Amino acid sequence: RHFHPLANVPGPFLESLTELHRFYYNFVKSGTHSLQLERYREKYGPVIRIAPNEVLLNDPEHYETIYSANTKFYKDPTLYSTTGPDTSIFAMTHNEDHRLYRAVLNPFFSRRSVLGQEYIVQRKTDKLLARLDADSDRGKPTEIGMGFCAISVDVILECSFGAEACWNMLDREDFGVWYNDVIRSSASIMWLLRFASFLRPVMYGMPHWLARLVYPVSAGIMDAAKVITSYVKRVVSDIDAGLVPKRKTIFHTVMDPEVTSSGDFDKSIVTVPHMVDEAVVLIGAGAETVGNAMTVCTWRALLDPEIYKTLRAELVAAFPDPTQPVDFLTLEKLPYLSAVVKESLRLSYGVMHPLPRTVVNMCSFLMHRDPSLFPYSDKFDPQRWLNPDAQLVAGREKCLVPFSKGNRSCIGQPLAMCELYVVLGRRFRKSDDLVLVDVRPEDMLYQDYFGAMHPRGQVRGYARESWAWLEGAERQWEAEWKARPVSSLQVTRSAA
């Protein structure tokens, strides 16, 4: 231990010897290691040894060096080989390969491209708002937290493959909650595989029938990949048959040989397996992240009448006629709404887990809760971003990293921002009668499942029914939904 290159880095003794501690808190105690990290920061300061070969940094100055466009640091394979398909831009570890792959998708996630897709976000928002009204008319609370996750999944599916392939989570009574369970459970497997890497070939090599028996969720993930493979293959056959969809989707464009041959990227990497990997990641990456930010906003605004009132007043002034379209370009210029969105991203963290770049990690959970920049950091306070002290606000902006930064920052950021502004702006413009129903503060805590997830009761059996309704999935054994406690934000419109 004394001769290790990190021997002089302060940190708890046990963590310098073994990863057992992290495994225990994340796998056994449901993603709670981040709370330990916060304690370590108080005790050891800004540089901490958090595992035998890992250091956690907390100084925002370091962020722009480690997470930069031309960084030499690359994603740590011990974690990222467990997070998703190897040839997706998300899991790829080497920066040089990643650059080639990201170039394929970049054009579809530019701001310009997202503005062209705003109509999809608006249409899905119509559905969510109509559902809220319909539930309230029936005297039934709406699981709006789940609805917020559902909207993001529906939007990216429609952008990726077209309306026919959209899972229409928003139309389902439970907003397709099983999908969040699949993501959560696969993240839980990640904690296991990160610690016990020898299990990886066993888990990934298991035949489908055995996976169903041993761990139903892994069968659910396999079914997801199968369904998505069928979408990608359909795109190829559409292109071969000369069928052009009314509106070109991401994958209809990227797989079109004419585009591929003229594109500014290596066309040999546009293959069916690679495109399946990218689609799996795109569909998974937006759900909880976007959903959590909307949930935090709605929960906190409904808890604090002053925030609700100020937000609504700004929206009514910007859109005085209730029938006029509430558009993203106008919404994003509103200062109070923008401060609310920032506070929502700050307290939903994006990816809660430290983002390991070989030996170094930095973590939005700690940066967003830095007491020197965000006093009473748990308080949802939009005024933090409207403070007249420009230097103070600039320091806070530097510490706000929900999308990370640099070459591996979130490709979906422009789309996510459009979703956040449109859904929240339209909902809070609509009426001032939204109220919370039976929300316990403990339901709104976050656990670290790489992304941030709300606590849940033990979940069983969902993968058996989850994909049965999707074309391309194998028939599942049974379609029984098992009742279980769900922590989600419930709201309704007050009768008054």
Which residue ranges are tagged as binding site?
Answer: 410
Residue of 96, 52, 47, 49 whose CA lies nearest to 70: 96
| Element containing residue 146 per DSSP (H, E) | helix 144-161
Whole-angstrom Cα distance, residue 188 to residue 275?
25
Does position 351 interact with ligand HEM (CB under 6 A)? The reply is yes
Residue of 66, 71, 79 whose CA lies nearest to 96: 71
Which residues are CB-neighbours of 116 under 8 A, at least 6 positions away? none
Give least dist CB 411 to ligand HEM, A: 5
Residue of the chain from 16, 125, 310, 404 that contacts ligand HEM (CB under 6 A): 404
Residue of the chain from 382, 402, 414, 425 that contacts ligand HEM (CB under 6 A): 402
Which residues are CB-neighbours of 214 under 8 A, at least 6 positions away? 206
Name the residue nearer to ligand HEM (CB basis): 319 or 403: 403
Does position 403 interact with ligand HEM (CB under 6 A)? The reply is yes
Does position 95 interact with ligand HEM (CB under 6 A)? The reply is no
Which of 50-58, 401-409, 431-439, 479-487 is the region at the interface with ligand HEM (rule: CB under 6 A)?
401-409
Q: Is residue 388 a contact partner of residue 335, using CB atoms and an 8 Å limit? A: no
Does position 84 interact with ligand HEM (CB under 6 A)? The reply is no
Beta strands across the sheet bearing 355-357: 47-51, 54-57, 360-362, 355-357
Q: Which two tokens stand for residue 177?
A: 């909650």
Residue of the chain from 22, 41, 102, 346 that contacts ligand HEM (CB under 6 A): 102
Tell me, by CB under 6 A, how many residues bind ligand HEM: 24
Collect contacts of 282-286 with beta carbons under 8 A, ≥24 apart: 282/156, 282/160, 282/412, 283/153, 283/156, 283/157, 283/160, 283/224, 283/228, 284/84, 284/183, 285/90, 285/410, 285/412, 286/152, 286/153, 286/155, 286/156, 286/412, 286/415, 286/416, 286/419
Phi-psi region at 490: left, alpha or beta (left = phi > 0; alpha = psi -120 to 50): beta
Q: Which two tokens stand for residue 304?
A: 């604090």
Does position 418 interact with ligand HEM (CB under 6 A)? The reply is no
Name the residue nearer to ligand HEM (CB basis): 90 or 462: 90
Which of 209-217, 242-250, 284-292, 392-400 is the region at the interface with ligand HEM (rule: CB under 6 A)?
284-292
Does position 291 interact with ligand HEM (CB under 6 A)? The reply is no
Give least dist CB 286 to ligand HEM, A: 3
Nearest position to ligand HEM, beta carbon: 412
Does position 453 interact with ligand HEM (CB under 6 A)? The reply is no
Give least dist CB 102 to ligand HEM, A: 5
Which residues make beta-bridge pairs with 46? none
Name the residue nearer to ligand HEM (CB basis): 211 or 362: 362
Give least dist CB 149 to ligand HEM, A: 11
Please tell me what DSSP assigns to residue 282: H
Residue of 139, 123, 220, 209 whose CA lies nearest to 176: 220
Residue of the chain from 84, 162, 216, 412 that contacts ligand HEM (CB under 6 A): 412
Print the binding letters for residues 223-262 with ligand HEM: x by CB under 6 A, - otherwise.
----------------------------------------
Residues that bind ligand HEM (CB under 6 A): 89-90, 102, 152, 156, 281-282, 285-286, 289-290, 293, 350-351, 355, 402-404, 408, 410-412, 415-416
